[in-house]
Structure 1
Amino acid sequence: MDAKLRELVESSGNIVFFGGAGVSTESGIPDFRSVDGLYHQKYDYPPETILSHTFFERHTQAFFDFYRDRMLYLDAAPNAAHRMLAKLEAQGKCRAVVTQNIDGLHQRAGSKNVFELHGSVLRNHCMRCGRAYGVKAVTESTGVPRCSCGGVIKPDVILYEEGLDSDVLEGAVRAIAACDMLIIGGTSLAVYPAAGLIDYYRGDRLVVINRTPTPADRRADHLFHGSIGEILGE
């Protein structure tokens, strides 16, 4: 961990981490907006169209063809940033992780209090009867995955045009508002309403870690440009 960051962490007692795709790219999961991200690859439809509620409803099989091919990276492993956040939680310092990622890597690393703003690919449910399914219901099926009742099995991922889960949102807001140190890492802060949650922080230890500039840089008390795994990790 960077020496200045370590000093801040050691003197803080209620840290919240707010992260995005840049945390997962270091585990080999491509993001959406970088030069090599999904938004710069060619498909019959733009990825943001495919990942919309309307497209899911109208072209369900095409959605799942894309989803299985480009959204599931189940072999990815937690990286140094994930592991450090879990370690800080175990020490009682990191009280919450608020993430825009849907890969479940924070939990695999050991973090327990995780607010997944955009849901998780690991959870799925039947749209007809509500039965819960794991990710194998999608990966081990072809075409449109179906429940035993005949309903469509939908990933518990927030698609474009869908609202965030109110309980998750409220929990994230409470955690950010109460913390004495907010670390923003691996996010361009371009996706709303998620990015707007950082406005609930009123402290004087706003740390931003990102490879490229973000809208929060001018507000940051401490700014680090580079790899989040190297800066935050052990």
Structure 2
Amino acid sequence: MMKEKIDLLIRCMNESKKTVFFGGAGVSTESGIPDFRSKDGLYNQHDVQFDKYSPEYLLSSGCLYDRPEVFYEFYNQKLDTRGIKPNITHKMLARLEAAGKLSSVITQNIDGLHQMAGSRRVIELHGTTQRNYCVHCHREYGGDFIFQSENSIPECPACGHMVRPDVTLYGEQLPGNAVREAEEELREADMLMIGGTSLTVYPAAYYIHEFRGNHLVVINRDQLQVKLNPASDISFACSLGEVFSELERRFLEIQ
């Protein structure tokens, strides 16, 4: 069954003029980064220090500005992915782009692993931990700045105000440029691959409805509430690693 689906996937990729990948936390779990909502995810990791707050609050603009010491302690403990490496999915998406078979990656992740793997067109709907900026003078700093800060609340060397991650927190709007790029890519695509996402996080999950193309490919361990056309769409109820390892093995067939 897997072979037949991979055969169909390769055929659809070869026929497609524009393929887009839309991914979530499950893309990075095989690199060792926990997702948010699974039984082993970040939201189910109990820490006495943070138990009195909800995970959504700890990753909110309210926590950042009202209780910055709590926010940065949680951020430093849970979201430091600097030692993490891209996995087979990240690497194969980059190879597909380099081969002209993938237009872009639209990601809900903030870890920067797609770029580390070599992807060039990455649309980050939720921002990234790889960039930081001062809330006052807007001077930009690299991804290490907050994690290496000796202060409990990182300060801008230029003006002394707080430096925050360039991440979209709960209570904040998604970055307008990324949203517009994602919508345009989805509207123009004739093939959309969705992987490693529950499609329960809004408004990001809403944007897949912009897709009007020919082939929808879903790769997710759990069944998603997505309407599939059995004549043209493909669903893999397995890990992304299984699918992309097969694509790597049969890469010469992708032309």
Relative to the length of structure 1, the TM-score reads 0.96
Are 2:158 and 1:158 equivalent residues in the alignment? no
User: Runs in 1 of length 4+ with deviation above 6 angstroms?
Assistant: none
Q: Which runs of 5+ in 2 are unaligned?
A: 249-255
Question: Could you tell me how far 1:203 is from its partner in structure 2?
Answer: 1.3
Other-structure match for 2:41:
37
RMSD value over aligned CA atoms? 1.3
What are the equivalent positions in structure 2 for 1:8-27 lying under 5 Å apart?
8-27=12-31
Look up the SS of the partner of 1:196 in the other structure: helix
User: How far is 1:41 from its partner?
Assistant: 1.8
Shift of 1:219: 5.9
Q: 1:194 to 1:219 in 2, by over 3 A?
A: farther
2:251 aligns with: none
* Residue-by-residue CA offset, 1:119-172 (whole Å, 9 max, x unaligned): 000100000111000122111113000001101000000000000011110000
Contact kept? 1:119, 1:158, Cα under 8 Å: yes
Task: Say whether 1:97 aligns with 2:105.
Answer: yes
Query: What amino acid sits opposite 1:223 in the alignment?
Result: S
Partner-residue secondary structure (3-state), 2:103? strand
Q: Percent identity?
A: 48
**Residue aligned with 1:156, SS:** strand
2:139 is equivalent to residue 131 of structure 1: yes
Q: CA deviation at 1:217?
A: 5.1
What is the rounded CA distance, in whole Å, between the counterparts of 1:77 and 1:230 in structure 2? Answer: 18
**C-alpha distance in 2 between matches for 1:162 and 1:217:** 30
Residue 73 of structure 1, CA deviation? 1.3
Any stretches of 5+ residues in structure 1 without a counterpart?
none
* Pairing 1:184–2:194 present: yes
* Residue identity matched to 1:222: I
User: Is 1:197 the equivalent of 2:207?
Assistant: yes
The aligned counterpart of 2:73 is 65
| Distance in 1 (alpha carbons) for counterparts of 2:142 and 2:188 | 33
Q: Check whether the contact 2:110–2:126 (CA below 8 A) recurs between aligned residues.
A: yes
Q: Does 1:230 align with 2:234?
A: no
- Secondary structure at 2:185 match in 1: helix
The residue type equivalent to 2:161 in the other structure is G
Q: Distance in 2 between matches of 1:232 and 1:145?
A: 39
Cα deviations by residue, 1:18-45 (Å, 9 ceiling, x for unpaired): 0000000011000000000011122331
Higher mean C-alpha deviation, range 27-36 or range 217-226: 217-226
> Is this contact kept in 2: 1:123–1:155, CA < 8 A?
yes
Contact 1:217/1:223 (<8 A) preserved: no
More displaced stretch, 71-80 vs 212-221: 212-221
How many residues align? The count is 234
Task: For residue 4 of structure 1, report the CA deviation from its aligned partner.
Answer: 2.6
Mapped to 1, the partners of 2:128 and 2:163 lie a distance apart of 14
Tell me how far apart the structure 2 counterparts of residues 232 and 199 of structure 1 sit (CA, whole Å). 25
CA contact (8 A) 2:216 2:228 kept: no
Larger Rg: 2
Instruction: Provide the rounded CA distance (Å) in 1 between the counterparts of 2:69 and 2:92.
Output: 39
Per-residue deviation, 1:218 = 4.3
Question: Quick check: 1:146 aligned with 2:150?
Answer: no
Could you list the per-position Cα deviations for residues 88-111 of structure 1 after superposition, in whole angstroms to 9, with x for gaps in the alignment? 111112111000000000011111
> Structure 2-normalised TM-score?
0.89
What secondary structure sits across from 1:198 in the alignment? helix
Are residues 1:77 and 2:85 paired?
yes
